[in-house]
Amino acid sequence: MGVEVRVEGLTKSFGRQSVWADVSLTLPAGEISVLLGPSGTGKSVFLKTLVGLFRPDRGNIWITGRNLPRLSERDLYEVRKLFGVLFQDGALFGSMNIYDNVAFPLREHTRKSESEVRRIVTEKLEMVGLSGAEGKLPGQISGGMRKRAGLARALVLDPEIILFDEPDSGLDPVRTAYLNQLIIDLNQQTDATFLIVTHDINTARTVPDNIGLLYHGHLAMFGPREMLLSSTEPVVRQFLNAQRFGPIGMAEEKDATELAAEAEAGVELPPLPPIPVQLQPSNGQPRRAERPPGQWCAEHGVIPPPGSFQSPAAPAGAARPRLVALHSDGEESPWQTR
Ligand SMILES: Nc1ncnc2c1ncn2[C@@H]1O[C@H](COP(=O)(O)OP(=O)(O)O)[C@@H](O)[C@H]1O
Ligand SMILES: [Mg+2]
């Protein structure tokens, strides 16, 4: 089972440039969370601060009762073993074949025998669907396969927390769909706590249990997926629905004149699109963190946008997700899907 990560009042700057300030959020144990934000808002810096590669100016990062920014280098080294990280480009060694790349952390951090290493590497390559590619060099395989290899390497030490930095960047939509499914399946198999940095709206809308949005040096919002997808808070609404109207402009923040002009023109925001059903594990077994579609909305008296939680044409025989709807008396009850 993964562990909880509790971030309190985290602030980071480089010299006089503030990256973000006062970020507080909790990654619930075993759940998948996504961190969204325009480029340059410090998403990668956030991941690197979580694993202790950067020290924050202020704030706490609580993991298994230890506060990372307060740890000595030696204790930090121990806590880092809880993490698996998939960096943006896979960060593979170009001159090493896939097998040796994936075996690297085991040879570096453990005293396992080569036969034990072989067993683990084979198992992880199988998990990410890369069996047979052991002998290839990173330059000889596609971008999608390199991401998978990076993922296998992030998995070899059986991490409790897995961080993904834009796993979908540079992938075509079909490969992104496969990777998203792989993430869901891995979460089900490992029960680890996942944090995925992305700016792919479709990934953010369908994969995670929780969504956070970094914007303009602050965490605009963090919470359950249904909470953000039904939110009418202008920044959240604009970003999660990829809309042009709202406070975010080309230069990240629109100036007052532009916003005033939009207001004057009486720009009517399009209605919120339906909340999609969350991706489910391909083997039909639920994830431990999975909740019935509509549960958050029902519990919080939020009426989801019309058409929400209608699953796309499911393959014959596939189990339909159970929906939860809000009755007028506030009672929760199962919804019938068509
Ligand atoms: N090692 C560093 N030293 C100084 N500034 C940095 C360093 N790493 C990142 N930054 C700055 O922090 C800001 C956020 O960068 P980054 O986290 O890479 O953004 P994102 O991943 O959201 O696109 C940028 O302005 C970047 O220039
Ligand atoms: Mg980045």
Nearest ligand to the CA of 19 is: 1
CA 19 to mean position of chain CA atoms: 20
Measured in Å, residue 47 CA sits from the centre of ligand 2 at: 9
What pTM, to 2 d.p., does this model score? Answer: 0.87
Give residue limits of the domains in the chain: 5-226, 232-264
- For the chain, state the CA radius of gyration: 21
Indicate whether residue 41 lines ligand 1 (CB < 6 A).
yes
Ligand having the closest approach to the CA of 46: 1
* CATH no. for 5-226: 3.40.50.300
Q: Is the CB of 14 under 6 A from ligand 1?
A: yes
With beta carbons less than 8 A apart as the criterion, state whether 197 and 47 touch: yes
- Could you give the C-alpha distances from 53 to 47, 48, 67, 250, in angstroms and in order? 9, 5, 14, 30
Q: Is the CB of 117 inside a 6 Å radius of any atom of ligand 1?
A: no
User: Which ligand is in closest contact with the Cα of 39?
Assistant: 1
Confirm or reject: Cβ of 35 under 6 Å from ligand 1: no
Whose C-alpha lies nearest to ligand 1, atom 1?
14
**CA separation for the pair 309, 16 (Å, rounded):** 46
Distance in Å, CA 48 to ligand 2 centroid: 10
Q: At what angle do helices 143-155 and 114-127 cross, to 10 degrees?
A: 130
Q: How far apart are CA 124 and CA 116, in angstroms?
A: 13
The H-assigned helical ranges of the chain are: 43-50, 73-80, 98-109, 114-127, 143-155, 173-190, 201-206, 225-229, 234-240, 256-264, 295-299
Q: Residue 333's beta-bridge partner residues?
A: 325
Atom from ligand 1 closest to the CA of residue 45: 17
Instruction: Indicate the DSSP class of residue 231.
Output: -
Predicted confidence pLDDT, tens digits, the chain (338 residues): 789 999 999 999 999 999 999 999 999 999 999 999 988 999 999 999 999 989 999 999 999 999 999 999 999 988 998 999 998 766 889 999 999 999 999 998 899 999 999 999 999 999 888 999 999 999 999 888 898 899 999 999 999 999 999 988 878 888 889 889 999 999 999 999 999 999 888 999 999 999 999 998 999 999 999 999 999 888 888 888 766 666 666 555 666 666 666 666 666 677 889 999 999 999 999 999 999 999 999 999 999 999 999 876 555 555 555 555 544 444 434 333 33
